[in-house]
Amino acid sequence: MSAGRDRAGVPSRNPMSRPKPLLSRLFLPYLSVAILTVVFLLVGIGTAFRRAELRQLQHSLTSRLQLVLVQLPGDSSRFSSQDTDSLLRANAGAGSFRLTLMDHEGRVLAETDTLASVVPVQGNRPEMLQALFGKRGFDDRLDPVFGTTQLFVAEPIRHNGQVVGVLRASERIRASRWEFFRQIGGLAAISVLLIAFGVILIYLIVRRVTRPIQELESGAERFARGELDERIEESDTTELAHLSRALNHMAAQLNERIRGSERLRDEQDAVLSSMREGVVAVDRDGRVMIINAAAAEQFQVDAQRAKGRLVEEVVRSTDIHRFIRDTLTAGGPVEREVARFMPDERILQMRGNPIIAVGEVLGVVIVISDVTQMRRIEETRREFVANASHELKTPVTAIIGSIETLREGAMENPRDAERFLDIMSRQADYLQSIIEDLLTLARIEQVSDAQKLAAERQAILPILKDAVDAASSAADSRGQQVVLDCSPEVTASVNAFLIRQAVVNLIDNAAKYSPEGTRIDVRAGVAEGVLVIAVEDRGPGIAEKHLSRIFERFYRIEASRNRKYGGTGLGLAIVKHAALAHGGTVHVDTQLGRGSVFSLRLPK
């Protein structure tokens, strides 16, 4: 089975093989080589000693055979004589070895250690075959007759150039090879000691080699864990010292690069976090790579948990999903506005750019801007222009009509002239009221936008008294009573002009919509560190459908009734912006048929 490759492209180890320590991989082979070397050395020494012993014994037997050969008769017919037998026994007894005389066919003619008749034909023995061919023959083997290991030397007997017989000498080999090894036990003991010493020496050498490698391994593991500030101690071995320096240099470079990447990431995170626009990066598989805090807030998800998930799981909007797919396929910038209705209605302006590398689209980056407020401001501006035009057109039309009527002859009729002049006067006053309210609203917005509210700590009671006095004429004309309830000790940091204007508008609004002869209550007090100014009327109340819009410019619940009393539709808008200029709010509590309570809540 061929080795595979891991995800990094590095050839992977065969899963069936198990890793082994370098110590065992070096020590065991070295130990095996040492033991085998000693064993082969002992075998070689034993074999050499054995061969030397055999050569010495062969030489001794050969010398003795030569001495006997010169004493044998030359005629082969006399080999079986009693004299020949006695000659062989005499020489064998003197040399303590065995002599055997055989004819040219290998039949035993005389034998010194047994009867010749019981010895089988020896013509097929190795040493006999060599002697019968005229050569000196040698062999060592186990003799079946005597049951011992014998060395045989055979000399041919020639007569007239012919081999007529063979004289063979044999002598028992004192010990076998293994017996010889046991006899040299001292050498074996020394060899064992040498092996033990070699084992210890090899272990120390291998340990000396593997220890710095283990230190390199530990250092590499520290580097892999991210502990790049530590360094590996250099070994006293040149190659390992070079490797240590290379690893330390690599760790230093990695540390610098990681620190640089972390700084870059922190800077990127800081930039993304500080952006008011949402930023989302999606790969080509539709998984979120980057999402900043603004985008997470817009989609109400956790930024960390969103990373790596499909964009369909993070953003529940088919329009946004379609926008991402279009950007991926477009290959260029795409811009579009998308409306979202959960949790509330939002208008998002989305600008997408594909991430392209080496001509391949790897993903898309989307910048999301919440333009809801901008669109609402634009809508409010359009409505304001339309409403202001409509409100100004009515009195202007009435004035122009009255002037034309007067020019056409109404001036000659004093009663008609007076009536049309009265119409012109009322419409001019109405125009002036609209202009004054618009200027007041503009000043309040200017102060609020510039955050330069001229406020000072002062008593609230005098401000409210001034407001009641200014608005009392409208209430008196309808027989209404304005009741003020405020402690002289109530103080707050406010702009007196704005508060007075707001309260005047609330009293005027209450007088217009309350029945004649009713009471209007004006109260002020401090609750939970907040200044509360409330104006309560006994009017018809406000239907719920109007509550979300009553503070808009020119919005009227009853347009004909409002115009009847000279209302411009800007009074409650002035109240709202006066509260906002102080960092406060305005609320209305109402019940149909029972009246309404408008409350200004201002930071004390």
- Please state the rounded mean pLDDT for residues 536-546: 84
pLDDT of 183? 56
Q: What is the model's pLDDT at position 451?
A: 53
Averaged pLDDT score across all residues of the chain:
78
pLDDT of residue 10: 46
Among 195, 225, 255, the domain-final residue is: 225
Confidence at residue 247, expressed as pLDDT on a 0 to 100 scale: 81
Is residue 394, in this structure, part of any structural domain at all?
no
| 88 and 207 inside one domain | yes
What's the pLDDT band for 579 if we cut at 50, 70, 90? Answer: confident
Do residues 545 and 538 touch, judged by C-beta distance below 8 A?
Answer: no
Tell whether 203 and 302 lie within a shared domain: no
Same domain, 198 and 296: no
Cβ–Cβ < 8 Å for 298, 368: yes
Residue 156 lies in a domain: yes
For residue 529, CA distances in Å to 365, 534, 600, 602 come to: 47, 16, 13, 9
- pLDDT tens profile 137-190: 888 887 766 667 788 888 888 877 788 888 888 887 765 555 555 556 666 677
Orientation angle between helical segments 185-224 and 22-69, nearest 10 degrees: 160
With respect to residue 445, please indicate whether it lies within any of the assigned structural domains. Answer: no
Q: How far is the CA of 359 from the CAs of 57, 354, 356, 362, in angstroms?
A: 93, 11, 6, 9
Beta carbons within 10 angstroms of residue 202's beta carbon: 18
How far is residue 108's CA from residue 410's CA, in Å, rounded to a whole number? 185
pLDDT at 272 over 50: yes
Tokens of 372: 């809801």
Residue 418: what pLDDT? 82
**pLDDT at position 471, please?**
81
Q: What is the pLDDT of residues 423-454, one digit of tens each?
A: 788 778 777 767 776 777 667 666 655 455 67
- Lay out the sheet containing 334-340: strands in order across: 288-291, 278-283, 360-370, 346-357, 334-340
Which of 354, 370, 386 is a domain's end point? 370
Q: Rounded to the nearest 5 degrees, what angle is found at the Cα of 601, between the Cα atoms of 595 and 604?
A: 145
Domain identity same for 22 and 150: yes
Q: Give yes or no: residues 41 and 177 share one domain.
A: yes
Q: 199-239, pLDDT tens digit by residue?
A: 788 778 777 777 777 787 788 888 777 777 777 777 777 77
**CATH number, domain at 475?**
3.30.565.10
What is the C-alpha separation between 312 and 288, in angstroms, rounded? 10
Question: Domain count of the chain?
Answer: 3
pLDDT at 125 over 80: yes
- pLDDT category at 558 given cuts 50, 70, 90 is low
Count each helix (H run) and each strand (E run) in the chain, helices first.
Answer: 16, 17
Please answer whether residues 73 and 79 qualify as being in contact, where contact means their C-beta atoms are separated by less than 8 angstroms.
yes
Same domain flag for 327 and 210: no
> Which spans in 331-413 are helix H?
372-407
Q: Write out the H or E segment, with its range, that includes residue 430.
A: helix 414-450
- Residues 356-369 have a mean pLDDT of 83
215 and 332 in a common domain: no
CATH number at residue 27: 3.30.450.20
pLDDT score for 8: 45
Q: What is the pLDDT of residue 560?
A: 44
Residue 244 within any structural domain of the chain: no
pLDDT tens per residue across span 298-320: 887 888 888 888 888 888 888 88
pLDDT, position 21:
63
63 domain-assigned? yes
Instruction: Establish if 590 belongs to a structural domain.
Output: yes
Q: Measured between alpha carbons, how far is 41 from 45 in angstroms, rounded to an integer?
A: 6
Does residue 99 or residue 73 have the better pLDDT? 99
State the burial class of residue 302 (Cβ atoms within 10 Å of its Cβ: 0-12, 13-18, 19+). Answer: exposed
- For 181, the domain range is 18-225
Instruction: Quote the pLDDT of residue 343.
Output: 66
Report, in this order, helix, strand and coil percent for the chain, each rounded to 5: 55, 20, 25
Cα–Cα distance, 472 to 474 (Å, whole number) = 6
Whether the per-residue pLDDT at 16 is higher than 50: the answer is no
Question: Does 108 have pLDDT greater than 50?
Answer: yes
Rounded CA-CA distance 473/504 in Å is 11
Q: What band does 411 get if pLDDT is binned at 50, 70 and 90? A: confident
Is 300 in the same domain as 363?
A: yes
Tell me what pLDDT residue 254 has: 83
- Residues 175, 315, single domain; the answer is no
- pLDDT reported for residue 7: 46
One domain, residues 186 and 315: no
Q: Is residue 391 part of a domain?
A: no
More confident: 341 or 98: 98
Domain boundary among 190, 225, 260: 225
Same domain, 585 and 462: yes
Cis check: omega of the bond before 354, within 30 degrees of 0: no
Same domain, 47 and 190: yes
Q: Over 50: is that where the pLDDT of 1 sits?
A: no
A 10 A CB-CB count for 478 gives: 14
CA-based nearest residue to 65, from 156, 163, 162, 155:
155
Given a cut of 60, is residue 488 above it in pLDDT?
yes
Whether residue 70 lies inside any domain: the answer is yes
User: Could you tell me which residue, 234 or 69, shows the higher pLDDT?
Assistant: 69
How far is CA 426 from each of CA 151, 431, 533, 545, 558, rounded to the nearest angstrom?
159, 9, 33, 32, 20
3-class DSSP assignment, residue 600 = strand
Taking residues 23-35, report their average pLDDT: 72
Tell me how long the chain is.
Answer: 604
